[in-house]
Amino acid sequence: MPARANRSPAPRSRGQRVRAPEATRERLVAAAFEEIHRHGYQGAGLDTILANAGVTKGALYHHFTDKADLAHAVIDEVIRGLTLTRWTGPLASYVGDPISGIQSVLKVVADEFCEERLVDKVELGCPLNNLAQEMSPLDERFRRRVAVVFETWIESFAQALERGRKEGSVRREVDARKVATFVVAAVEGSFGLAKNAKSAPLLRENLEVLTDFLDSLRATPATKRRR
């Protein structure tokens, strides 16, 4: 196993304690996110998290009741935040018809993971989907929290599509909610296959097919967008 990187070393130099509870908490959550992203919840070791956060058991159990509580914070804060930043945020601020908006967001993500700097992250998969698949049947509290994040994601896409329908850019027969759910499912499925194949190009190609599918929903019969 590769030595685990300990970025942002502990700011405690013994004799000069800093006393920044909020910062400590966030270091713990951030380190937990990393570990869980790499090894899953069950595979994540508290000792590793503590080492990477630069704190000890005392700090952990001061801020959280147990391992699950820490993971809940990871979902509610980090993973939810990432979903908003990557998907709902960019789509909401997009100017233009919603289908082009979703396609634009897909392209941004595809480009991002094809960059040299992030190709390695493809094999770690989507943190949201990872937790969903691992924990949904095991712990109801995990399942619900993850479901909430999925819901906001789907709902933002659904509202965009519904708006497009009313504005005339999206075909009338389209069920915005169903399509939005499908798009999210297809995105997560694409991440999953790319993760197993360790292939960022595979992710990109899948998102391209998804883009074609979205074109087929346009009211103006698919004027072959730029790719």
Chain contacts with a copy of itself (rule: CB under 8 A): 38-40, 42-43, 123-125, 129-130, 132-134, 136-138, 143, 146-147, 150, 178-179, 181-182, 184-190, 192-193, 195-198, 202, 205-206, 208-210, 213, 216
DSSP string, 61-110: HHH-SSHHHHHHHIIIIIIHHHHIIIIIHHHHT--S-HHHHHHHHHHHHH
DSSP string, 133-150: HHHTTT-HHHHHHHHHHH
52: tokens are 């990477």
Q: Which is nearer to DNA, 15 or 137 (CB)?
A: 15
- 3-class secondary-structure state, position 174: coil
Q: Which is nearer to DNA, 67 or 107 (CB)?
A: 67
> Which of a copy of itself, DNA, none does residue 99 bind to, with CB < 5 to 8 Å depending on kind?
none
Q: How far is the CB of 65 from DNA (least distance, A)?
A: 7
**Using CA atoms, how far apart are residues 104 and 41, in angstroms rounded to an integer?**
32
Applying CB under 7 A, among 4, 66, 147, 167 the residue interacting with DNA is: 66
96: contact with DNA by CB under 7 A: no
Other CB atoms within 10 Å distance of the CB of residue 208: 16
Q: How far is the CB of 39 from DNA (least distance, A)?
A: 9
- 3-class secondary-structure state, position 170: strand
Q: How far is the CB of 214 from a copy of itself (least distance, A)?
A: 10
Crossing angle of helices 176-197 and 98-114, rounded to 10°: 10
150: contact with DNA by CB under 7 A: no
> Which residues of this protein are in contact with DNA, per CB under 7 A?
10, 12, 14-21, 24-25, 44-47, 54-59, 61-63, 66-68
